[in-house]
Structure 1
Amino acid sequence: MKIALIGCGEVGHCYARAWTAAGHTLVGICELRADAEMDARAQAAGAALHTEPGAWMAEADVVVSAVYGYNAAEVAQQAFPHMRDGAVYADFTTASAANMQAAASAAKQWPVAFMDVAIMGAIALLAEKTPLLCAGDGAQVVTTLGESAGAPVRIIDGKPGDAVRLKLLRSVMTKGMESLAVECMVAAERMSLRASLYEVLADIDRTPLTAFMDSFVRSHVLHAPRRLAEVREARDQLHEAGLEPLVLNGVEQLFDRTTRGIQAARANGQADIPDSVEARLAWLTTLAGQP
């Protein structure tokens, strides 16, 4: 496969090496940096170095963007006019969903397929084998590219922007869990209870994560007031241990908001929310814009 690469920083350089090793051809690299290091990267890839998109891209089967997310949409629109009919534009950037959608919309003015490619992990850890989540057109080309580098590729049934949305939603979950784990483990260590904490959390290991999340959503609507009191007791315990909770303060705010919502619903005779994830998420969504 013939590839035009826009951006040869950490991400672009990583994939350039992997794809050339897999037998693909880099027809050119577009990079604003024109220093000795960048010249060496281009030479190693057997590619010409360019400072802007241009006619040299017409030879490529796929144009891969690995620039900074804030200017990804602008770079994409500069590239589209130079791409051949039927080529694929694969956006590997960290652009926002809105920018992905803007670029995908612009691509429709040209006979170009657009794919939103979210890198689901840290390149510094897994390099080119980092899993890829993709939404848009050009699935076969992007799957071939990713798998030839050793990366698991998942194409979702969605539109450009959905892959990066899912990546950030995953971050809400994982970064939230990370923060809670740090706060809880530090407290357990301070209280000399870490080994025992592992034991009392063992039941969680036996429940699939998605089922665990669903059960939280369903029960939260019923038990938020009682759990709010427990959160406050836990906060007081951390204070007694000489610790200042940060994550738990946010947890308290969320439980407090839900409790106020439950109280208002009961006052209006609307507290009977069907016991399903969908119904209870719909109700919780009505609270989500409140302080």
Structure 2
Amino acid sequence: MKEQQQFRFGLVGYGEIGSTLGSGLRGAGLKQIACYDRYAFDGPYSQLIQKRAKEAGVTLVRSNQELADAADLIVSVTPGSASLESADAFSSVLDSRHTFLDFASATPKVKLGVADRLSKTGALLGDGSIMGTPKNGYSMGMLSSGPAGKRAADLLVPWGMQIDYVGERLGTASGIKILRSVLIKGIEALTDEMLLAARFYGLDEAVLASASKTLTRPWMDTVESLTPSGVIHAKRRKEEVEMAAEAVADAGIDPIMTRSTAARLRWKEGLGLKEHFNGVVPANYQIAIEAIVSKMEAGKAAQQTAATKAGERV
């Protein structure tokens, strides 16, 4: 691990994430930390922001320009919906001495948009994602990528942060986080729907106990069990989930997630994968996914051919 070195650190946003990083790094001994939060002096949580900053010893500034003047490494932890707007605001104040990374939860396309808006500044640019939770303090797990990704990790990890550099391609860290959210946030929503319905039937504890037996095994074991067999048994699983949706609806709960699951299984059934594999479960998830992609591409090609022929007839 590299040795600690003092540098001027800047935060964009001082909400739960920003304040956790600020207080943690100051506690670890990093001396110069400044933050720009547009609501720090005029907003519904301005008093809370100011209180947190004062207790941590973090300097609140009033503009993007002031933050650029006070910091060399700047990390943005605003909501992803504000990433592009924030980049526009920094485009006129950054220069070649700055390192700037957007750690918001957003798509790779958004992070590339941030880089495009800041490309003429000369700043070293990168992106990051927060994989852990503030409950773990400022050492929550993070990823970084892009030209600035390694530099950020080299500077911050010695101070106690956990940042894994995942590559030179900008958007990699954000892509890992946002695509993982399909699963993690989906599990949250599915759990809510399951528990609300199970509670109606007085079965919440029993259903949780049953599900836990499956979910305690390593996740890759689950993937290798469900994905290969799913291309063969999509029809049966679809029918089961459709009945599950009825049970949820009978409990007075709109089965939003369950119906969506049935729709995805119905789509998979329609690809003809059981016939493709002659009813034999493929050896691993990669083979199953490649077959799905192949069927999707064949379907798109057929649609394009049909559209071309229709245009010729006209």
Could you say which TM-score interval applies, normalised by the shorter chain? 0.7 to 0.9
Secondary structure at the counterpart of residue 115 of structure 1: strand
Aligned to 1:175: 185
> RMSD of the alignment, in Å?
3.6
Does 1:284 pair with 2:284? no
Structure 2 CA distance, aligned partners of 1:232 and 1:67? 40
Structure 1 CA distance, aligned partners of 2:221 and 2:33? 47
Structure 2 CA distance, aligned partners of 1:94 and 1:202? 29
- Of 73-82 and 178-187, deviating more is 73-82
Structure 2 CA distance, aligned partners of 1:239 and 1:43? 51
Where does 1:64-75 land on structure 2 (aligned, <5 Å)?
Answer: 64-75=75-86
Aligned to 1:49: 61
Secondary structure at the counterpart of residue 35 of structure 2: strand
- Of 188-197 and 19-28, deviating more is 188-197
Change (3 A) 1:163 1:271: same
Q: Deviation of residue 43 (structure 1)?
A: 5.7
Aligned to 1:261: 271
Match of 2:129 among 108, 112, 118: 118
Structure 2 CA distance, aligned partners of 1:72 and 1:195? 42
Secondary structure at the counterpart of residue 261 of structure 1: coil
Q: Deviation of residue 275 (structure 1)?
A: 4.5
Aligned to 2:308: none
Does 1:209 pair with 2:219? yes
Match of 2:73 among 37, 62, 83: 62
Does 1:97 pair with 2:108? yes
Structure 1 CA distance, aligned partners of 2:74 and 2:259? 46
Q: Percent identity?
A: 21
Kindly provide the amino acid, as one letter, of the partner of residue 14 in structure 1: T
Structure 2 CA distance, aligned partners of 1:203 and 1:39? 47
Structure 1 CA distance, aligned partners of 2:254 and 2:184? 22
Q: Deviation of residue 160 (structure 1)?
A: 2.4
Q: Deviation of residue 30 (structure 1)?
A: 3.0
Aligned to 2:3: none
Where does 1:236-255 land on structure 2 (aligned, <5 Å)?
Answer: 236-239=246-249, 244-255=254-265
Q: Deviation of residue 271 (structure 1)?
A: 5.5
Secondary structure at the counterpart of residue 103 of structure 1: helix
**TM-score if structure 2 supplies the norm length?**
0.72
Paired residues of 2:133 and 2:141 also in contact (CA < 8 A): no
Where does 1:83-162 land on structure 2 (aligned, <5 Å)?
Answer: 83=94, 85=96, 87-123=98-134, 125-143=135-153, 146-147=156-157, 150-157=160-167, 159-162=169-172
Q: Deviation of residue 219 (structure 1)?
A: 1.1
Structure 2 CA distance, aligned partners of 1:189 and 1:42? 43
Gaps of 5+ in 2: 1-6, 301-314
- Of 37-46 and 276-285, deviating more is 37-46
**TM-score if structure 1 supplies the norm length?**
0.77
Does 1:7 pair with 2:13? yes
Secondary structure at the counterpart of residue 94 of structure 1: coil
Q: Deviations over 1:241-280 (max 9, x none)?
A: 56553322111111211222228x85xxx56596442332
Secondary structure at the counterpart of residue 272 of structure 2: helix
Secondary structure at the counterpart of residue 29 of structure 1: strand
Q: Deviations over 1:72-121 (max 9, x none)?
A: 23433553664464542122223442221122345554543222121224
Q: How many residues in Structure 1 have an aligned counterpart in Structure 2?
A: 284
Q: Deviations over 1:187-214 (max 9, x none)?
A: 4444344454455445424531123123
Change (3 A) 1:234 1:14: closer
Paired residues of 2:53 and 2:59 also in contact (CA < 8 A): yes
Gaps of 5+ in 1: none
Change (3 A) 1:86 1:256: same
